[in-house]
A and B are shown apart, each in its own frame.
Chain A
Amino acid sequence: DVKVTQSSRYLVKRTGEKVFLECVQDMDHENMFWYRQDPGLGLRLIYFSYDVKMKEKGDIPEGYSVSREKKERFSLILESASTNQTSMYLCASSPYSDPGQPQHFGDGTRLSIL
């Protein structure tokens, strides 16, 4: 069974801090994703990566960056956290070869920026 693990379930940070959210998957998937989940807005894609060191912007990349140095790990970085980045963040992975393959999600990180 695919396992996507997010390093923190809950995180509280202050405005202006640099924040790192980490995600690891154990199924050798090429694709990895970062979404934010907000009530009434659903899931919105921030960034995704289809290979090591490769990334593409999603719908809402502003204020975020990502890093993928190893295939199994995908990090989301908030360069200077702001209160409007308070949200639930979901990481997911999927195989690249077939877009019909589903994404597998982690438990999420609930991030609060004070």
Chain B
Amino acid sequence: AQRVTQPEKLLSVFKGAPVELKCNYSYSGSPELFWYVQYSRQRLQLLLRHISRESIKGFTADLNKGETSFHLKKPFAQEEDSAMYYCALIYNFNKFYFGSGTKLNVKP
């Protein structure tokens, strides 16, 4: 069963436009949710996690338990934001799921 769904394989926006990368998850308890990013020719790295409620590189993500979503948002996209983004879900200390990823392309 697909635990984490990222419906968009590719998202193209112009520089300065708002961007939202969607993530929905399947779990009825209290999840740990993360966004990871992989820039071209770099290793996968943490962008942010819901528990810290922080903004990293202008990105934020809010956990909506009612809609089981954890969408990633940024009000003004930059060209350097172009990358592959993965949503991840962890629960019970031994369940780890990643989504299929969304490639964000920010055009000049």
Give the interface of A toward B (CB within 8 A).
Answer: 33, 35, 40-45, 48, 50, 56, 58-59, 90, 92, 96, 99-100, 102-108
Contacts and interface: CB of A to CB of B under 8 A. Distances in A.
Contact of B43 (A35, A41, A100, A105): A105
A100 B44 CA distance: 17
Q: Interface SS of chain B: helix, strand, loop or mixed? A: strand
Contacts of A58: 96
Interface centre among A48, A90, A105 (most CB of B within 10 A): A105
Nearest to A92: B44
17 contacts: A33-B96, A40-B9, A40-B100, A41-B100, A42-B6, A45-B96, A48-B94, A50-B93, A50-B94, A90-B44, A92-B44, A100-B49, A102-B46, A103-B46, A105-B43, A106-B43, A107-B43
Interface residue tally on B, bucketed by range: 20 to 34
The 9 closest A-B pairs by CB, nearest first: A42-B100, A43-B98, A102-B46, A105-B44, A100-B51, A42-B101, A99-B90, A99-B32, A42-B98
A51 to B, nearest CB: 12
A96 B99 CA distance: 22
B86 A42 contact: yes
Nearest to B46: A102
Nearest to A90: B44
Contacts of A50: 93-94
A45 B98 CA distance: 8
